[in-house]
Chains A and B, each alone.
Chain A
Amino acid sequence: MTDATLDDATLTTAQIRRAYLAQTRRKRSYGAILMGVFVVLMVAGFHTADQRNAGGFWSGLHRFFDFPGEVLGEAAQKLADMPAHLATYAPALLETINIAAASTLIGALLAAVLSLLSTRGMARWPRLVPVFRRCMDIMRAVPEIVIALVLIFVLGGGPVPAMIAIAIHTAGALGKQFSEVNENASLKPLEGLESVGATWAQRMWLGVLPQVSPNWFSYGLMRFEINIRASAILGFVGAGGIGYELRNAISWGKGKYDEAAAIFFMLFVTIVIVDQISAKMRQQLTHGRQTKEQGQ
């Protein structure tokens, strides 16, 4: 009896071993094939791109650091002018940050509504969920610079077209991220609120927002960082702010590189500061949530 069970067990072990090894071999060969395809695609793609390239990748590679070197070299020579440059461009930087802040705020508000309307289980009109999703897709798909160029053509140059352009893109991008956060929120509180006869707006405001606000806030802050960079770029096409000054400095070429370096430096410092502040605020938000949970 004992022997029989023992034999039975060893037989099963052998089977298990065989089955598992077969499975492992299958997985490994899939992995190897995928890896091979990946390498072939990378090499072939690079080859094609390199042939199409006017200069050639390898012949140009060693000049990669020439431009930054030139800019930094000139900036180092005229280091004494740096504080003056910083003072000169401070108002332009402020304008850029203002554009970014206003567009983040407006875009986030729009994104919040769109995200709630396009999350399954929360949507006001469940049948229209795909419609709102496609709306956000379109807002994300059109580059900010295209919207800005059209608006500048219609409204004239200045910060307002840039603000609207970035806000539209923000609404699409943040809306997508917000709705992903919403999907992870529990629907039970919503059912609870529905059972007492709350309207859709009440359910969203009182049931969803407390659950998702820390994550929304954290995504919003990251979007603010991205938007500072975006509004600097839009300055290139006539939206004002630090981007306009940067274009002037760079297209002037040699002689104004110290100004370009000053502007790059200011942008870098701004991003670092925003990142530090948002990291602190996010920590506070999650920390606050923890103490609340402990209190319960």
Chain B
Amino acid sequence: MLTLENVTKRFGQKIAVDNASFSVDQPAMIGIIGRSGAGKSTLLRMLNRLSDPSAGTMQYRDINVSALSGAAKRNWQSRCAMIFQQFNLVPRMDVVSNVLHGTLNRRSTLATMFNLYPQADIHQAIDILERLGIADQAAKRAEALSGGQQQRVAIARALMQDPEIILADEPIASLDPMNAQIVMQSLRRIHEEDGRMVIANLHTLDTARRYCDRVIGMRDGRIVFDGTPAQLTTGVARDIYGAGDDFSEAATSTEIDALDRPKQGMPLPA
């Protein structure tokens, strides 16, 4: 279904993603873990074609994603939604308009410039907001919402695209544990109910373990682990994060009940 072969991204001398290859046969919820700077974001940005790979190919069904350009590239981007760490909404526009931005690829530039969307789309946008539990915020400006609510608006925008793949780049990194849980559960539900593929960059192990069917570990641009959450032992995790023996999962956890768990070692300073 989705196949990446030797995908590489160079920024000058620095190699951000180094010969990344993996393939996905059926829609799954995939978590990519690794330290900051391991190349997770770059990989997702290349999949959405926000940035171009320096080498390698990306194939989705019969589309050669890495070779697309112009209108074909924009069409791919509309089928492959992206959710960002900092939400990337238009702060001064109302929530429904932000969600309707998901339809931009289908609509004419002139109509969207004057904010003219079909009534059916507006109804659908409000339905999606309802599904994510924030329909009562519909008429507010995006900037007036809390972080967790904004991220759900961003997910609504992604759903409005009716995409086959949803890429989520650190979707919960700027949220508190309560909102993080709501957002992750929403993503999981979208995967289970709609059968969409979800690929999420996560910086905490337990989130990946809890919500994902498959975990890919990256270190210094290379894929160093690819397997089920059960195969992800503490030893493997230490390898991915390049941490010593004092590394424990609870130390990186953002989950609420993590505090109650017995701690195995000293918490990491950072």
Contacts and interface: CB of A to CB of B under 8 A. Distances in A.
Contact of A12 (B115, B136, B139): B136
B213 interface: no
Contact of B116 (A12, A17, A19, A28): A28
A21 interface: yes
Contact of B138 (A9, A20, A31): A20
B126 interface: yes
Contacts, number: 32
Nearest to A23: B139
Contact of A16 (B115, B116, B138): B138
Given A27-B115, A28-B116, A20 B122 contact: yes
B1 to A, nearest CB: 35
B114 interface: yes
A13 B136 CA distance: 8
B122 A21 contact: yes
Nearest to A10: B130
B115 A17 contact: no
A23 B116 CA distance: 13
Interface in B108-154: 114-116, 119, 122-123, 126-127, 130, 135-136, 138-139
Contacts of A31: 114-115
B96 interface: yes
B77 to A, nearest CB: 26
Interface string A11-42: 01100110111011001100100000000000
Interface residues of A, number: 13
Nearest to B129: A16
Contacts of A27: 115
Nearest to A22: B139
Given A16-B135, A20-B96, A9 B130 contact: yes
Contacts of B136: 12, 16
A279 to B, nearest CB: 21
Closest CB pairs A-B (n = 7): A13-B130, A20-B138, A16-B135, A17-B126, A16-B138, A20-B139, A23-B139
24 contacts: A9-B130, A12-B135, A12-B136, A13-B126, A13-B127, A13-B135, A16-B126, A16-B135, A16-B138, A17-B122, A17-B123, A17-B126, A19-B138, A20-B122, A20-B126, A20-B139, A21-B122, A23-B139, A24-B115, A24-B122, A28-B115, A28-B116, A31-B114, A31-B115
Interface of A: 9, 12-13, 16-17, 19-21, 23-24, 27-28, 31
